[in-house]
Amino acid sequence: MTPVAMGIPQVHRLTPVLPGHLAPGIADRPDTPVLVDRYGRVARDLRVSITEKCSLRCTYCMPAEGLAPIPAQNLLTSTEITRLVALAVHELGVQEVRFTGGEPLMRADLEDIIAGCAAAVPGVPLALTTNAVGLEHRARALARAGLTRVNVSLDSIDRQHFARLTRRDRLPSVLAGIRAAAAHGLAPLKINAVLMEETLAGAPDLLRWCVDEGVSLRFIESMPLDADHNWTRDHMVSAQALLEVLGKHFSLREIGREDASAPAEQWLVDGGPHTVGIIASVTRSFCSECDRTRLTAEGTVRSCLFSDREVDLRGALRAGATDEQLADLWRAAMWSKSSGHGMDADGFTPPQRSMGAIGG
Ligand code: SAM
Ligand code: SF4
């Protein structure tokens, strides 16, 4: 039954709030410290974007000229990121933190951010989503700083296809970065590949490479989050189309999800032990299981990739808000999380921010 049919009121846009003053419409929120929303989901997985800058220009994400630069004073500092991550873990029940962007390796102080967070939230997994360009030179320092694991985005192991899709000829650096991360124990290392028409034929080669390297691969359906707004459902490659291509080269047996909140459905490759995951964000949405909360590089809480409603924590933090006031703002932001991405609804319009500007 849909939330509307169950009589749950439609979510109202949060109005700007002052520190300590909760937004209208959250009076019915249960008295719990965790990041619960109206649909009963609890966010435990925090994505922290730390920059809009990137060393690549993937066509499904960035414009050729890159995103408009965020003025330096609007970016969260390493100290501010550490404070908000600590608050998310200690006050709000977050259990895993992932740094993303833009490209997180573009920040020279990434090691400081990781070290600060590792000290503030000992034992909490700290992960990185990266394109791995230049990672070979920093994997050791990042592992020493306390980074636990890495997801690398890699869509093709064909150098020309890679260069066309990312608008940069950096495949050798990416492969070196993947190997360096594995060598420094940043495990389990996962590769994420966005499904595109241009790279579909190369998907079996990418899977073969990952099997040979001993890293796990997940394919992701592309979403309408490209800065150029070129995404169309007609040109989107579905999980089903991928399975047909892979099925000509491998025997695949579906084995389900790793756990209920894991977005990837897993398939055993050639009888195992290797698996391949497919995240069918568009054709088999997992919004009802979503356990994510997002912090943008400018310090706003974003409850959903597809919702432009954001709550400004940076302003409150710099105005002297206490941890409890910041936590209340975060709770209010998540209480109003939408039920789903709404891509199937009539009149759907993509969010204003693209994936690289939100933090995927
Ligand atoms: N630069 C890093 C990277 O590429 O891994 C981190 C940021 S990137 C925005 C995070 C993830 O979002 C990547 O795995 C990327 O492939 C994915 N992504 C970007 N645009 C997307 C889109 N339109 N649809 C689906 N995934 C997308
Ligand atoms: Fe950069 Fe990652 Fe976006 Fe590619 S997907 S343009 S690497 S932020």
Segment 38-77, tens digit of pLDDT: 999 999 999 999 999 999 999 999 999 999 999 999 999 9
Residue bearing the CA closest to ligand 1, atom 5: 130
Q: Is residue 352 part of a domain?
A: no
Domain-located, residue 121: no
Indicate the top mutation candidate among 55, 57, 59, 135 to test ligand 2's pocket, ranked by most ligand atoms within 8 A of CB: 57
Residue recorded with tokens 């997180």? 104
Please give the structure tokens belonging to residue 344.
Answer: 């199937």
The yes-or-no verdict on residue 26 having pLDDT over 70 is yes
Residue 185 lies in a domain: no
Ligand in closest contact with the CA of 57: 2
pLDDT band at 4 (very low <50, low <70, confident <90, very high): very low
62 assigned to some structural domain: no
pLDDT grade, residue 15 (50/70/90)?
Answer: very low
Closest CA to 125 of 95, 102, 158, 100: 95
Cα 296 to Cα 57, 74, 162, 305: the distances in Å are: 19, 11, 27, 11
Cβ(222) – ligand 1 distance below 6 Å: yes
**Which atom in ligand 1 lies closest to the alpha carbon of residue 100?**
6
Q: Considering only CA atoms, which residue is closest to atom 4 of ligand 2?
A: 58
Nearest to 157, CA basis, from 135, 139, 184, 175:
175
Any domain includes 218: yes
Q: Which residue has the higher pLDDT, 10 or 112?
A: 112
- Looking at residue 109, its pLDDT comes to 98
Task: Identify whether 210 is part of a domain.
Answer: yes
pLDDT tens-place string over residues 211-265: 999 999 999 999 998 898 889 888 899 999 999 999 999 999 999 887 766 788 9
The residue whose CB lies within 8 Å of the most ligand 2 atoms, and thus the one to mutate among 62, 135, 222, 296, is 62
Distance CA 26, CA 20 (A): 13
Q: Is 143 in the pocket of ligand 2 (CB under 6 A)?
A: no
CA of 222 to the centre of ligand 1 (A): 9
Could you tell which of 50, 59, 61, 195 is best to mutate to test the pocket of ligand 1, judged by most ligand atoms within 8 Å of the CB?
A: 61
State the Cα torsion 238-286-360-141 to the nearest 10°: -110
Report the pLDDT value the prediction gives residue 120, as an integer from 0 to 100: 98
- For residue 57, the ligand 2 atom closest to its alpha carbon is 6
Lowest-confidence segment of 103-112, 267-276, 304-313, 347-356 by average pLDDT: 347-356
What domain range is 245 assigned to? 192-288
Helix extents (H) in the chain = 78-92, 110-120, 139-145, 159-166, 171-183, 197-200, 203-213, 239-247, 313-318, 323-335, 355-358
Residue percentage of the chain with pLDDT more than 70: 92
Rounded to an integer, the average pLDDT of 259-277 is: 89
Query: Has residue 74 been placed in a domain?
Result: no
Distance 270 CA to ligand 1 centre (A): 28
Residue nearest to atom 10 of ligand 1 (CA): 360
Distance separating alpha carbons of residues 18 and 326, to the nearest angstrom = 10
Please give the pLDDT value at position 1.
32
Chain position carrying tokens 């084995």? 255
Q: Which ligand is nearest to the CA of 54?
A: 2
Rounded Cα distance, 249 and 16, in Å: 54
Q: Kind of pairing, strands 126-130 and 149-153? A: parallel
Q: How many domains does the chain have?
A: 1
Please check the confidence at residue 12 and state whether its pLDDT lies above 70. no
The predicted structure's pLDDT at residue 19: 43
Q: What atom of ligand 2 comes closest to residue 55's alpha carbon?
A: 1
Q: Which tokens hold the place of 173? A: 């650096």
Q: Given a cut of 70, is residue 21 above it in pLDDT? A: no
pLDDT score, position 25 = 62
Closest ligand (CA of 222): 1
Going from the Cα of 354 to the center of ligand 1, the distance in angstroms, rounded, reads 10
| Residue 51, in any domain of the structure | no
Q: Taking residues 294-318, what's their average pLDDT? A: 94
Asked if residue 307 has pLDDT above 60, the reply is yes
**pLDDT tens-digit readout, 140-171:** 999 999 999 999 999 999 999 999 999 999 99
Per DSSP, the residues of 256-274 read EESSTT---EEEEETTSS-
pLDDT at 308: 85
φ, ψ at 78 (rounded to 5°): -60, -40
What letter would DSSP give residue 23?
A: P
Computed over every residue of the chain, the mean pLDDT equals 90
Contacts (Cβ under 8 Å, ≥6 apart) of 195:
203, 219, 220, 221, 222, 236, 237, 238, 239, 241, 242
| Whether pLDDT at 119 is above 90 | yes
Q: Which two tokens stand for residue 330?
A: 């975060």
Residue 174 pLDDT grade (very low, low, confident, very high; cuts 50, 70, 90): very high
The mean pLDDT of 101-106, rounded to a whole number, is 97
Average pLDDT of the segment spanning 277-293 = 90
Query: How many residues are recorded in the chain?
Result: 360
- 185 versus 31: the higher-pLDDT residue is 185
What pLDDT is stored for residue 23 in this prediction?
53
- pLDDT at position 263: 84
202 alpha carbon – ligand 2 mean position (Å): 20
Rounded CA-CA distance 181/183 in Å is 5
Nearest by Cα to 225 from 355, 94, 75, 72: 355
Q: How far is the CA of 21 from the centre of ligand 2 (A)?
A: 36
Closest ligand 2 atom to Cα of 101: 8
